[in-house]
Amino acid sequence: MLDNYYNLAGQQEVVIVTFVHGWHHSAKPEDGNIQEFRKLLSTISARENDYSQKFMRKKRLILGVYIGWRGDSLNIEYLNTVTFWDRKATAHEVGHKGITEALLKLEELKNVRNSYDEGQPSANRLVTIGHSFGGAVVFSALQKIMAERFIDSQQDKNYQQYADGFGDLVILMNPAFEALRFSSLMELSQDKCRKYQQGQLPKLAILTSETDYATKLAFPAGRIFSTFFESHRTMQRHECKGTGSGNMLTVNIAQGEADRTAIGHFKPYQTHLLELLPNGSEKKFELERAYADWSASDPTQPSIYSSVNLISKQRTTPLNPYMNIKVSEDLMDGHNDIWGEQVIDFMRELIAVSTTPLPDYKMLSGQ
């Protein structure tokens, strides 16, 4: 399949969307995640068709990649629920091994046109989505890569204009890994309350349902036993009430709690709330506004998204590329409720912000 995709990406511009499934799912054709992923690709393709007509450019081809791994070690219903911790360990192991290589090959596919059009930036884009233990797989595979690329974009190593990540956007849905694994990235992004340049795009969005009891209750219960003999300390971290070191607010974080709590439920690292718009109202999504304030950093401005309200907790500087979003029950109710219409709308619109070619943005701003 990848050989065919390489040919396509070399001949025309593409958007590659990758999905890594979670617990109790597989790559079997009848798996519900595959059916829903196809619907997501269809909606992204429709939006790309609209934008290509609006900006009078050739439509990019949407390529889907579904990555399967053994989400269950037992095929016996109900009994397979006891495999939670076995699958967690496997998810991290799979991420460190084969998935890193697979994702890097996809990023190479994204960049293949750079060798064809020298001096002309490619419009190819790559989005990676992981759910549940699939989120743990993706994060384990990319954690070191994202940290290294972020460091390269810091002021003292200014190799790049903006803070970089992996591909163009990584989305993790109800991911099952502990907050302590995210601590270094969170601290990097908050270093000296760095000011991000206008035009900085999101690089990582973590979405967790407030009623995801698999990661909210079962996860910490299991971590109590697995971390029982580990020693922990109090970590000194900070929040950013504005840009610049003068706006740093020191906070103490219990390392043990961060090691036992899933990332989406760890309050000190939550950056946003995602709620349904009141009375089920909807409005037109405006790409130009979204490009300027996709992170909802200005609380005085109305929501930019069509069917949800993204509310910043004002813990990070504006346009911080890492978002850890608590999602209300009426949008995502439980661990597997990730395909709701409003959530898909939000994901599609965030993907639009991250994958729209720069010439389109310049046309919007009249440059």
User: Residue 159 pLDDT more than 60?
Assistant: no
Q: How far apart are CA 71 and CA 83, in angstroms?
A: 9
Q: Which domain holds residue 309?
A: 2-365
Q: Among residues 282, 266, 290, which one has the least CA distance to residue 341? A: 282
pLDDT tens-digit map of 125-158: 999 999 988 898 899 999 999 999 998 876 655 5
User: Residue 365 pLDDT more than 80?
Assistant: no
Q: Among residues 57, 85, 67, which one has the least CA distance to residue 2? A: 67
Question: Angle formed by the axes of helices 133-152 and 183-190, to 10°?
Answer: 30
pLDDT level of residue 74 (50, 70, 90 thresholds) = very low
pLDDT level of residue 219 (50, 70, 90 thresholds) = confident
pLDDT level of residue 180 (50, 70, 90 thresholds) = very high
Q: Among residues 183, 173, 163, which one has the least CA distance to residue 318? A: 163
Question: How much is the pTM?
Answer: 0.90
Residue carrying the six token digits 């790409």 = 287
**Which pLDDT value is given to residue 75?**
45
DSSP E strands, the chain: 14-20, 61-67, 125-131, 169-173, 204-209, 234-240, 248-254, 272-276, 308-312, 322-327
How far, in Å, are 92, 231, 304 from residue 123 at the CA level? 32, 48, 24
* Half-sphere exposure of residue 153: CA atoms within 13 angstroms, side-chain side: 23
**Which pLDDT value is given to residue 138?**
94
pLDDT tens-digit map of 192-207: 898 898 889 999 999 9
Number of domains in the chain: 1
pLDDT level of residue 320 (50, 70, 90 thresholds) = very high
Q: How far apart are CA 43 and CA 142, in angstroms?
A: 27
pLDDT level of residue 77 (50, 70, 90 thresholds) = very low
**Which pLDDT value is given to residue 156?**
59
Tokens of 128: 């990676």
